[in-house]
């Protein structure tokens, strides 16, 4: 369950309207920043590069050893 967070006194970064909830009622801007720390981007990049699907392990050997086999299949 989400905990309730008070946004009292905060203003919209986009239009400077006082905030009542998690989104500005004037322009729709979210309270949460889209800016991520560098370590988050590095973590996502490493995960994307190293995430190997099992299908690629079955595809690469025939691709390099018997290239016509995959075409015929």
Q: Within this chain, do residues 29 and 2 fall inside the same structural domain, yes or no? A: yes
Instruction: Taking residues 29-50, report their average pLDDT.
Output: 84
Q: Within this chain, do residues 43 and 63 fall inside the same structural domain, yes or no? A: yes
Q: Using alpha carbons, list the distances in angstroms from residue 33 to 13, 22, 29, 36.
A: 10, 11, 10, 8
Number of structural domains (the chain) is 2
pLDDT of residue 49: 79
Q: Within this chain, do residues 50 and 29 fall inside the same structural domain, yes or no? A: no
> Residue 14 above 70 pLDDT?
yes
**Span 43-63, pLDDT tens digits:** 988 888 787 777 877 888 888
Residue 15 to residue 42: CA distance in whole angstroms: 32
CB atoms near residue 43 (< 10 Å): 12
Q: What are phi and psi of 3, to 5 degrees?
A: -85, 150
């Amino acid at each position: 369950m989400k905990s309730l967070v008070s946004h009292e006194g905060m203003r919209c970064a986009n239009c400077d309207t006082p905030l009542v909830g998690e989104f500005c009622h004037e322009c729709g801007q979210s309270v949460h920043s889209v800016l991520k720390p560098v370590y988050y981007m590095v973590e996502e990049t490493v995960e994307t590069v190293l995430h190997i699907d099992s299908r690629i392990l079955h595809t690469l050997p025939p691709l390099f050893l018997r290239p016509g086999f995959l075409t015929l299949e």
